[in-house]
Chains A and B, each alone.
Chain A
Amino acid sequence: MTLWIVFLALTAAAIFAVLWPLRIGAGGPAAVDGTDEHEADLAVYRDQLAEIERDRLSGLIAGSEAEAARAEVARRMLRAAESGGRAEPGSRASDRRRRIAAVVALVGVPVLAGGLYVMLGSPTLPGQPLAARLSDDPAKADIALLVRKVEAHLEANPNDGRGYEVVAPIYYRTGRLDDAVRAWQNAIRLSGSNAGRETGLGEALTARAAGVVTADAQAAFERAVKLEPEAVKANYYLGLAAVQDGRRDEAIARWSRMVAGAPADAPWLPTVKGALDKLAGGGATPAPAAKDANGAGPSTADVAAVAAMTPEQRSAMVRGMVERLAGRLAQDGSDLEGWLKLVRAWNVLGETDKAKAAAVDARRNFVGNDAALAQIDALSRELGLGS
């Protein structure tokens, strides 16, 4: 609202600049208007005459030269006087012209300025000075900004392990996997090892290797389990590592132990059970993580094969899975979870454009469903894809 009042005031000022000099009886002093032509010329020549006189007196030019120069200037004066006399006295000001000018200003300025501004401007976007954004209510700030805050804090206090611990999961979720690994390593170095941190590190390492539980990741999960034998995620991943290494029995044993010791209402129970069933049933898919961002579902055989693959083959496989998901959603677009997965997956693969396109397609499928749209927007913002 304030913005529009400011715009109105500015427009009024512009129009005023035209109307004020047009008002009746506006003939101001020469200082503003400029001078009558004839007078202006004569003034210059009078000055020149005075100058010649001064030069003569100070001996810079001889008397005869001064005389010739004076004659020359006098001729210019005569000519100026002549043309001054010839100039038509003129209408000076006419009401008709005045009115036309006023109307042009009154209509033209707002129409032109308003039209162009509506075309080019973004009146709904408030200014967003960084300082204000940083001190804003954290609930309103977006993820990127929160990360920045923590980063700024860490730059000032590079030995604050807690800061790394806060930022690491966000890096992980937004696909900054190298940063996530580094942050977890720093958190462990500074705050010491515990199951949660080691699991986070292992998870980040696994995601960085496109779902393969590498030796480093496995070591991290093992440290976690050593510290906290019941650690759910770590145990799950160790099972997955066993599957990928082809040690099915070990995986079944580990996951069965988890299921046996679990409280009945554990939220992860269905996932592990499902994985176990598939493994026992011989063939189908244990997801790489209980609730993994990348979860595009490799089959057991796939996963087992992955360990033996070159990085190129591996990424081709992941790509293939993501493309399959995209194909499925193109045919049936009603699966919100699927869309969110797809956007995340493209983003993790570094295909920002495809991620954006997927977000756009997703929005198209959920027109009218505000809750779904909000989720898509939130994800886009989180991944920095623009909305």
Chain B
Amino acid sequence: MIPETGHFALVLALAVALLQMVLPVWGARTNDAALMRVGPALAVAFAGFISLAFAALVAAYVQSDFSVLNVYQNSHSEMPLIYKITSAWGNHEGSMLLWVLVLGLFGAMVALFGSNLPQRLKANVLAVQASVAVAFLLFILLTSNPFLRLSPAPAEGQDLNPVLQDIGLAIHPPLLYLGYVGFSITFAFAVAALIDGRIDAAWARWVRPWALAAWAFLTVGIAMGSYWAYYELGWGGWWFWDPVENASLMPWFAGTALIHSAVVMEKRDALKVWTVLLAILAFSLSLLGTFLVRSGVLTSVHAFATDPARGVFILMILVAFIGGSLGLFALRAPMLRQGGIFAPVSREGALVLNNLLLTASAAAVFVGTLYPLALEAWNGAKITVGPPYFNFTVGLLMVPVVFVMPFGPLLAWKRGDIAGVAQRLMAAFGLAILAGLAVAYGQAGGPALAPIGIGLAAFVILGSVTDLAERAGLGRVPAATAWARLRGLPRAAYGTMLAHAGIGICLLGIVAETSWSSERIVGIKTGEGTTVGRYELTLERVEPRTGPNYRDVAAVFRIREGGVDRGTVTSSKRLFTARNMPTTESGIRTFGFGQLYVSMGDELAGGGIGIRAYWKPLVTLIWLGAVVMAFGGVLSLSDRRLRIGAPRPARARRNADAAPANPAPAE
């Protein structure tokens, strides 16, 4: 009964979404309050039905109900509970259902928390959202239905792809989808505003929380995906410029540009056309990412669906939404009123520069990812665009972004004083130079770019701290006053600081990892050892082990640093019996911010085993930086909620007025 209830709930969700797509818009066109009110009610109902469907699928997985084809194909009764749950979205059908679930939850949030929105805008936003839901539900029901049944039910499932049997599957896809689908809200806002033909500063304020939330989720989602690939694939890389990774990076660039340009739009009523375009682009790139991953155009770990019929369907969705929204944009954009003017050197100017460079980066990644595909479709030539291209283009574009970043928050709106700002950044700049020099001296003959990279990272981190110090008036006013001001600064100010510092931290990790990693690839026997970085590894024993649905051979290494025992690290080769597929489980030990990474290779003829061992200094900063960035976004968001600009109930207003310690931010 559970699977069929889920199936029916899914079908009902489609019916609800169809109504939600039509009735509120009709209400908005005819200015009918009753019809517009239907929108939020249906959005909540939609979220309810889709949650029920998803819960039913998860229940079928947990119960190993092999009468459900999807469960039979992707589960095994001996998997641990956590993987039984995660395998619900570790496959094409289930992951699409998760996608729509996230869509439904975001829609319900707009319905429930969007009390400050004008009724018309809200009705249109929910309708646009529903149209996305309709397209994806049709796709699921007609080409990728997770509730198809099997009779008689087999006695055992075919197991989940072993590479996916990892805690990473519990974290990475949901976060990534929260990011991807979060941009559907900003997209819906953009299209709704274009339908209505009015976009102003207030619009930007309503959109920003959603953009910020989506961006924060996407940031962590990408970082977690990177860390997962790093430890699961077993060869120590953390970013491969794999098309699927690129597919998630493109909306991130567009989204980052969006959250910045929306600030300009909100404060200055400028860059309206551009902001709306970015909102459309961010979601279009998210859709493209889904398309690339799901259509089977690309073969990689992620492409667990390879069915051309699905590809064509997704292509139609892409054409309809991207083409439709851009068409509407072309139609309406010329009618938008231009807003405030500003000098090139100003906060706006800095943000425009940021936007140009970020979109250029997105374009570079786009070309590198799709050009080989387009070329192959055109004349059958197979080429690969490799990491050198991406490292060069994106790296080159990121240097100015990062360098200008500390200047932005310090510049005034409208007309800035670049000399004054430079003066205020002198201390940070000097310290950064010192850091670079210290590195150059310390590494004595290491990579020439390393000191520059470290200096840049230090400049960003110190620069973002400078911004806070300036706002508090540190050095200009008595220490006590400055302290009080610092504490009184809005959370958004801290959010900006953290997000920018996060970039610096991430950069620090990247530079350190690429410049100073050491690697050993050797064959050793039990009792023998090798040295990597400051650490000596000794192979203590190789032993067979048995897991719930796999067998593995584990190699246990003893770690010593300068003769001092630092514990053990274990790497293993796993064989998953149901699919007869091996995986490598790398052994990782974290010392400080660096990691010792051991990955076991094949057994050698002479009786030993081949191993790869790496020492990666500061490598964890790459992901910690991303987490800091996202935390900055969340902090900014929590501030925003305090002052959601709406006619508030009297009680809420009193509270806000009575809390001058938390004044509104002034980014």
Show the binding face of A for B, using Cβ within 8 Å: 2-3, 6-7, 10-11, 13-14, 17-18, 20-22, 26-28, 30-37, 39-41, 43-48, 50-51, 54-55, 58-61, 65, 68-69, 72, 76, 79-80, 83, 88, 90-94, 97-98, 101, 104-105, 108-109, 112-113, 116-117, 120-123, 125-133, 142, 144-145, 147-148, 381, 384, 386-387
Contacts and interface: CB of A to CB of B under 8 A. Distances in A.
Nearest to A93: B34
Given A6-B5, A43-B647, A72-B269, A17 B44 contact: yes
Given A18-B41, A101-B23, A34 B117 contact: yes
Contacts of A59: 473
24 contacts: A10-B12, A17-B45, A33-B36, A33-B40, A34-B119, A45-B202, A55-B666, A58-B488, A65-B412, A72-B268, A72-B269, A76-B201, A90-B31, A93-B35, A97-B27, A105-B19, A113-B15, A117-B11, A120-B7, A127-B60, A127-B65, A128-B66, A128-B153, A381-B152
Most buried by B among A37, A40, A142: A40
Given A20-B41, A60-B666, A127-B65, A144 B33 contact: no
A148 B15 contact: no
Given A44-B201, A97-B27, A130-B66, 7 more contacts: A14-B49, A97-B35, A122-B149, A125-B149, A127-B2, A148-B155, A384-B152
Interface stretch (B120-128, B240-248, B271-279, B300-308): B120-128
Contacts of A36: 118-119
Contact of A97 (B26, B149, B269): B26
B117 A22 contact: no
A198 B237 CA distance: 57
B205 interface: yes
Contacts of B384: none
A116 B13 CA distance: 12
Nearest to B111: A32
Interface in B8-53: 8-9, 11-12, 14-16, 18-19, 23, 26-27, 30-38, 40-42, 44-45, 48-49, 52
A65 B488 CA distance: 22
Contact of B16 (A14, A47, A50): A14
B566 interface: no
B35 A101 contact: yes
Contacts, number: 265
Contacts of B33: 27, 33, 92-93
B118 A144 contact: no
Given A121-B8, A129-B64, A30 B35 contact: no
B327 interface: no
Nearest to B68: A127
Contacts of A147: 155
A15 to B, nearest CB: 10
Interface string B521-549: 00000000000000000000000000000
B85 to A, nearest CB: 15
Contacts of A48: 201, 267, 645
Given A109-B19, A148-B155, A122 B4 contact: yes
B11 A120 contact: yes
A21 B38 contact: yes
B646 A35 contact: yes
Interface string B396-422: 000000000000000011100000000
B11 A101 contact: no
Nearest to A59: B473
B643 interface: yes
A352 to B, nearest CB: 14
Given A34-B36, A113-B8, A41 B664 contact: no
A116 B141 contact: yes
Contact of A126 (B1, B18, B19, B32): B1
B117 A35 contact: yes
A130 B79 CA distance: 13
B80 to A, nearest CB: 15
A123 to B, nearest CB: 6
A112 B14 contact: yes
Interface of B: 1-5, 7-9, 11-12, 14-16, 18-19, 23, 26-27, 30-38, 40-42, 44-45, 48-49, 52, 60, 63-67, 77, 114-123, 141, 145, 147-149, 151-156, 198, 200-202, 205-206, 267-269, 340, 412-414, 471, 473, 485, 488, 643, 645-647, 649, 663-666
B200 A41 contact: yes
Contact of A37 (B38, B120, B155, B488): B120
A68 B414 contact: yes
Given A22-B38, A39-B647, A34 B121 contact: yes
A11 B121 CA distance: 28
Nearest to A27: B33
B494 to A, nearest CB: 15
A358 to B, nearest CB: 18
Contacts of A37: 118-121
Contact of A120 (B16, B145, B645): B145
A91 B32 contact: yes
A2 B153 CA distance: 22
Given A47-B645, A97-B35, A35 B340 contact: no
B241 to A, nearest CB: 40
Contacts of A98: 34-35
Nearest to B66: A130
Contacts of B42: 17-18
A128 B67 contact: yes
B8 A93 contact: no
Contacts of B663: 51, 54, 58
Given A65-B412, A130-B66, A144-B152, A88 B31 contact: yes
A41 B27 CA distance: 20
Contact of B67 (A14, A125, A386): A125
A35 B116 contact: yes
Contacts of A34: 36, 40, 114-115, 117-123
A108 B15 contact: yes
